[in-house]
Amino acid sequence: RAQLAAETCDLLLAVGSSLGVYPAAGMVPIAKESGAALIIVNAEPTPFDPIADAVLRGSISEVLPALVRAS
């Protein structure tokens, strides 16, 4: 189900993950290859930062509430 979701999503929001553990990390390239936007929210760099449409660096406890307030 995760692969199908990655293949059909419009946006993949990766929150609080190093994206270094598979199979979950494998969903990132699947989503990008299927045309999804990729936003990464994490305190540290990830291997997928270079292909992300946006990288929000910081604590998820601070970044996520700021995103909600901005929407």
**71 pLDDT higher than 90:** no
Mean pLDDT of the chain: 95
Q: Domains (ranges, CATH) in the chain?
A: 2-70 (3.40.50.1220)
> What's the whole-number mean pLDDT along residues 5-20?
95
Q: Is the pTM value of this prediction over 0.95?
A: no
Residue 8 is encoded by which pair of tokens? Answer: 């059909």
> DSSP letter at 24?
G
pLDDT score of 11: 97
24/62 Cα distance (integer angstroms)? 24
> What's the whole-number mean pLDDT along residues 34-46?
97
